[in-house]
Structure 1
Amino acid sequence: MSKIMTVGYVQSALQTLLFASDNLEETQKRTASGLAVASAADNAGYWSAATNMTSDQSVLGSIGDALNLGASKVDTTYQAVTSSIDILDEITGQLVTAYEEGTDRDALNGRIGSLKENLKSVLQAATFSGDNWLYNSDTTLGASKTIPSSFERSVSGAVSLNYLSVDTADTTLIDSADAGRGLLTAAVDANKLNPDGTTTPRNYYLIDMDSTIAAPGTEIAISDSTTSAELADMISVVGTLTDSLNRLASSLGTVSARIDQQNTFVKSLQDVLDKSVGRLVDADMEEESTKLAAYKTQQSLSVELLSMLNGHQQSARVLFS
Structure 2
Amino acid sequence: MTKIISSGSVQSALQTLLFSNDTLQKTQERVTSGYKIASAADNSGYWSTATNLKSDGNVLSSVGDALNLGASKADTAYEAVSSMIDVVDQIMTQLTTAYETGADRGQINNAMDALKENLYTIAQAATFSGDNWLFNSSEQLPAEKSVPFSFHKNVSGAISLEYLSVNTTETTMVDTNDASRGLMTAGMDASARDGDPSSTPREYYLLDAQSSNPASGTEISVSDATTREELDDMVYVVGQLSVKLNQLGSSLGTMSNRMDQQTTFVSSLKDSMDKSVSRLVDANMEEESTRLTAYKTQRDLAVEVVSMANNHRRSLAGLFG
The two structures have a TM-score, normalised by structure 2, of: 0.77
1:188 aligns with 2:178: no
2:87 equivalent in structure 1: 87
1:271 equivalent in structure 2: 271
Query: Would the aligned equivalents of 2:20 and 2:295 in 1 still touch at CA under 8 Å?
Result: yes
Whole-Å separation in 2 of the counterparts to 1:197 and 1:76: 38
Whole-Å separation in 1 of the counterparts to 2:140 and 2:61: 32
Point out the more displaced range, 81-90 or 241-250. 81-90
Q: CA deviation at 1:314?
A: 6.6
Query: Which structure 2 segments of 5+ residues have no match?
Result: 1-5
Q: CA deviation at 1:35?
A: 1.0
Whole-Å separation in 2 of the counterparts to 1:271 and 1:76: 27
1:115 aligns with 2:115: yes
Whole-Å separation in 1 of the counterparts to 2:194 and 2:39: 75
2:178 equivalent in structure 1: 178
Deviations 1:33-85, CA, capped at 9 Å, x for gaps: 22101122222232233233334444444555555555555454344323322
SS of the residue corresponding to residue 161 of structure 2 reads: strand
Whole-Å separation in 2 of the counterparts to 1:314 and 1:98: 117
Whole-Å separation in 2 of the counterparts to 1:211 and 1:107: 26
Deviations 1:300-319, CA, capped at 9 Å, x for gaps: 45445555665677788789
2:296 equivalent in structure 1: 296
2:26 equivalent in structure 1: 26
Point out the more displaced range, 96-105 or 51-60. 96-105
Query: Would the aligned equivalents of 1:78 and 1:253 in 2 still touch at CA under 8 Å?
Result: yes
Distance 1:311 1:107, change over 3 A: closer
2:44 equivalent in structure 1: 44
SS of the residue corresponding to residue 138 of structure 1 reads: coil
Whole-Å separation in 2 of the counterparts to 1:18 and 1:8: 15
Whole-Å separation in 1 of the counterparts to 2:148 and 2:197: 49
SS of the residue corresponding to residue 161 of structure 1 reads: strand
Deviations 1:157-201, CA, capped at 9 Å, x for gaps: 544234455443332211112222211112223333433351654
Query: Would the aligned equivalents of 1:63 and 1:149 in 2 still touch at CA under 8 Å?
Result: no
Q: CA deviation at 1:281?
A: 0.7
Distance 1:165 1:108, change over 3 A: same
Q: How many pairs were matched up?
A: 316
Point out the more displaced range, 259-268 or 311-320. 311-320
Whole-Å separation in 1 of the counterparts to 2:300 and 2:49: 39
2:127 equivalent in structure 1: 127
Q: CA deviation at 1:253?
A: 3.0
1:245 equivalent in structure 2: 245
Distance 1:303 1:241, change over 3 A: same
Distance 1:241 1:14, change over 3 A: same
Determine what percentage of the aligned residue pairs are the same residue: 60
Deviations 1:77-122, CA, capped at 9 Å, x for gaps: 3443233223323333343444456656555444433432232123
Distance 1:103 1:149, change over 3 A: closer
Query: Which structure 1 segments of 5+ residues have no match?
Result: 1-5
Whole-Å separation in 2 of the counterparts to 1:308 and 1:107: 106
